[in-house]
């Protein structure tokens, strides 16, 4: 049965067919092979992007949303470099803002449910997906930086619970991210990241699941 996410992917293919992949590859610093396919690593999976679609190199199952976000990415006209200053997505828009209520955003809540107080499990999972530990500027917290896509780094912060607040896990995007993808696509990308973290923790591997 065709899902709504399959429909989204299929709707992007005509736009991909018209995309100048060599120009996109040059702008994002990506490799392109002799067949004109872009090679890209996304959440520790290798993909090839051609004018006809996106395929995963290892041939194992992958979530269709990962393939869709890669099309959005190469279609983007974004340019420049990340500034390595991070903020939550809700701080980049007036849409879906929940941060001022003290509640976890709807995108980060599944991470809290999955990892809870198990910061070691979170750290292991983040590093399996290519994240690197960073010195946190906040007390009672740990953080990691992940280059989710070239020029789109993401910070993941774990804040310990105390007598006043529950544990918090938050994803933050580089402030330059909207230069490369529109907010809706960044939210879509965040969903791919959150799913990858949860599935990698569940299966113990970065691949083989949808």
In order along its 210 residues, the chain shows pLDDT tens digits of 678 999 999 999 999 999 999 999 999 999 999 999 999 999 999 999 999 999 999 999 999 999 999 999 999 988 889 999 999 998 887 554 444 444 457 889 999 999 988 999 999 999 999 999 999 888 889 999 999 999 999 999 999 998 888 999 999 999 999 999 999 999 999 999 999 999 999 999 999 898
Q: Which of 70, 68, 90, 85 is nearest to 28 (CA)?
A: 70
Class of domain 86-203: alpha beta
Q: Report the alpha-carbon distance of residue 106 to residue 97 in Å, rounded.
A: 10
pLDDT of residue 48: 98
pLDDT of residue 96: 47
pLDDT of residue 104: 55
User: Can you give the residue ranges of every domain in the chain?
Assistant: 4-75, 86-203
SS3 102: coil
Q: Which of 132, 20, 24, 129 is nearest to 84 (CA)?
A: 132
Give, for 2, the enclosing helix (H) or strand (E): none
Q: Which of 106, 109, 125, 115 is nearest to 187 (CA)?
A: 106
Q: Which of 116, 25, 115 is nearest to 70 (CA)?
A: 25
pLDDT of residue 2: 77
């Amino acid at each position: 049965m065709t899902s709504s996410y399959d429909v989204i992917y299929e709707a992007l293919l005509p736009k991909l067919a018209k995309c100048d992949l060599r120009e996109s590859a040059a702008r994002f610093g990506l490799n392109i092979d002799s067949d004109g396919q872009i090679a890209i690593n996304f959440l520790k999976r290798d993909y090839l992007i051609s004018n006809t679609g996106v395929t995963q190199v290892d041939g194992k199952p992958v979530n269709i949303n990962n393939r869709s976000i890669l099309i959005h990415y190469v279609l983007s006209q974004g340019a420049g470099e990340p500034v390595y200053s991070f903020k939550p997505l809700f701080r980049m828009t007036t849409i879906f803002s929940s941060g001022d209520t003290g509640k976890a955003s709807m995108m980060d809540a599944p991470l809290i449910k999955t990892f809870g107080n198990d910061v070691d499990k979170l750290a292991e999972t983040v590093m399996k997906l290519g994240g690197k530990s960073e010195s946190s500027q906040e007390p009672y917290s740990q953080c990691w930086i992940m280059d989710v896509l070239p020029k789109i780094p993401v910070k993941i912060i774990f804040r310990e619970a105390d007598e006043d607040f529950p544990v918090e896990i938050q994803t933050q995007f580089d402030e330059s991210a909207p230069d490369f993808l529109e907010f809706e696509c960044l939210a879509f990308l965040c969903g791919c990241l959150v799913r990858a973290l949860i599935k990698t923790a569940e299966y113990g591997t970065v691949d083989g699941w949808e």
